[in-house]
Structure 1
Amino acid sequence: MIQGSNILGYERPLVIRISFTTCIVVTVCLPLLGLITCVSISSLFHFEDATGTHCDRARVY
């Protein structure tokens, strides 16, 4: 158990309060943040592979 502040020699457990609305908003935004991160990393480091189509790869030069 995480112990909180020591008031007059009495240890209280640490209580973190988060509203239900805040919890829901954070939970809903996590997949969106993951999608944005994946698309950004893919575009930055593998731009040609991420934006290429099968038509471009089928051409014979």
Structure 2
Amino acid sequence: MKILIVEDDAGLAEVLDQTLSKHHYQVEVAADGQAGWELVELFEYDLVLLVVRQD
């Protein structure tokens, strides 16, 4: 399964990446919504994990 994580907090993105990779998922990380959108346009993902915060 190929997963895209869209998360601007580098520490949280790294934890998610490592955890999912240990379970044999293919993981890519985008640092913001624009980068995530560009990746979605280029590649197919089984899951997009989009972290949204309301301040």
TM-score by length of 2: 0.29
Q: TM-score, normalised by structure 1?
A: 0.26
Higher strand share: 2
Q: Look at both structures and tell me which one has the larger radius of gyration over its CA atoms.
A: 1
- Using CA pairs under 8 Å that are at least 6 residues apart, name the structure with larger relative contact order, 1 or 2: 2
